[in-house]
Amino acid sequence: MTIRQLQYFASVCRTQNLSQSARELFVSQPTLTIAMKELERELGTALFVKKGTHIEVSEAGKRLIQEVEPLLSQYGRIERLAEGRLFDSRYLRLGFSIMAGSSLIPELYGRVQRALQGLRIETFEGSGARLLEKLENGELDAVITGGKYGEDAKWKDAFESMDLPGGGLRFCVAAGSEHGQRDSIELEDIGRIPLAMLDESFPISRNIEELFSSAGIALNVIIRTSQLFTVERFIISGEAGGFLPEEACGNPQLKVLHCPEVDSFRAFPVKLFWKKEAEQPLLKSFLSVIGQGLCEN
């Protein structure tokens, strides 16, 4: 098993089309097909299922992609760090949780680059709790995640924080599904739909379940995952509905169904955390730039 095979596998999972992946990877389709068959042979299971003229990711493939994605992400970071970025004096490591920080990163990046020319920002995705542990251990310089972590005694005494604009949440189904013909949905109807959800390490998942529990509605969760990609793929396949950040709902294969109670999560609190008494001049400059315009208070 090689990194290249796993990169090929991740591409085919995303496109579910060998020809398209071959073009994107700049390899021939036979080369890509052989690589996937060798990977399946080594793992002893089928990773894809042929459905008419297209392919779908098998259950084994869905499990594998959850392991492969973070591995490839780490490999990509290692490649970049090997180019010398780790030793750059103007280098900052920023963690962000998918639900809280993904919509803020582009604006934040642009603002910082204009104010602090030459600054290199390395971003790390993950759940808020895992990222804050890395921040505490000195593996990250700052973290953007849910504001509720600031109320936790475990972190309250360790970190400083500032408020940032909150992120949005939407309930999505496959555009071509029966429910995809609708524009809105009630909580009771969501309770009858199989769901793919981020796991309990994401506070927003717990908040969603509390919302439905308070309304006396049991959710039919068929899979929990730490990967937003997996939630999206389950939705697009029509196997499940799911909750996605508003900015992640642009795929035409997704259909947003508006639900007032779910849409009310539009402004769940988001904070930027950093270690108390941090002395890095670059971090202080970074915080000053963010505090001048991006933060709410």
* Same domain? 244 vs 272: no
Q: What is the pLDDT of residues 168-198, one digit of tens each?
A: 789 999 999 999 999 999 999 999 999 999 8
* Same domain? 58 vs 46: yes
- Among 65, 72, 26, smallest CA distance to 43 is for 65
Render the burial of 239-249: b for 16+ CB within 10 Å, e for the rest: bbbbbbbeebb
* Same domain? 254 vs 214: yes
**Cα-flanking dihedrals φ and ψ of residue 201, to 5°?**
-70, -10
Q: Tell me the two tokens of residue 33.
A: 């097909």
CATH of the domain at 65: 1.10.10.10
Q: Give the pLDDT score at 214.
A: 93
Structural domain containing residue 94: 87-167+268-291
Asked if residues 254 and 221 have their Cβ atoms less than 8 Å apart, the reply is no
| 297 within some domain | no
Q: Give the pLDDT score at 112.
A: 84
> Which of 61, 78, 95 lies at the terminal end of a domain, its last residue?
78
CATH of the domain at 157: 3.40.190.10
* Same domain? 154 vs 273: yes
Q: Which amino acid is at 162?
A: M
> Which of 31, 49, 78 lies at the terminal end of a domain, its last residue?
78
Q: Give the pLDDT score at 103.
A: 67
Q: How many domains does the chain have?
A: 3
Q: Tell me the two tokens of residue 186.
A: 């009630």
| 296 within some domain | no
> Which of 78, 110, 126 lies at the terminal end of a domain, its last residue?
78
CATH of the domain at 229: 3.40.190.290
* Same domain? 10 vs 144: no
* Same domain? 280 vs 242: no
pTM: 0.54
| 193 within some domain | yes
DSSP of 7-46: HHHHHHHHH--HHHHHHHHTS-HHHHHHHHHHHHHHHTS-
* Same domain? 203 vs 248: yes
* Same domain? 177 vs 245: yes
Residues of the chain with pLDDT under 70: 80-89, 99-103, 166-167, 265-268, 293-297
Question: Tokens 């924080």 appear where?
Answer: 161
* Same domain? 141 vs 282: yes
Q: What is the pLDDT of residues 120-152, one digit of tens each?
A: 888 888 878 889 999 998 889 999 887 777 777
* Same domain? 66 vs 146: no
| Alpha carbon 276 to chain centroid, angstroms | 27
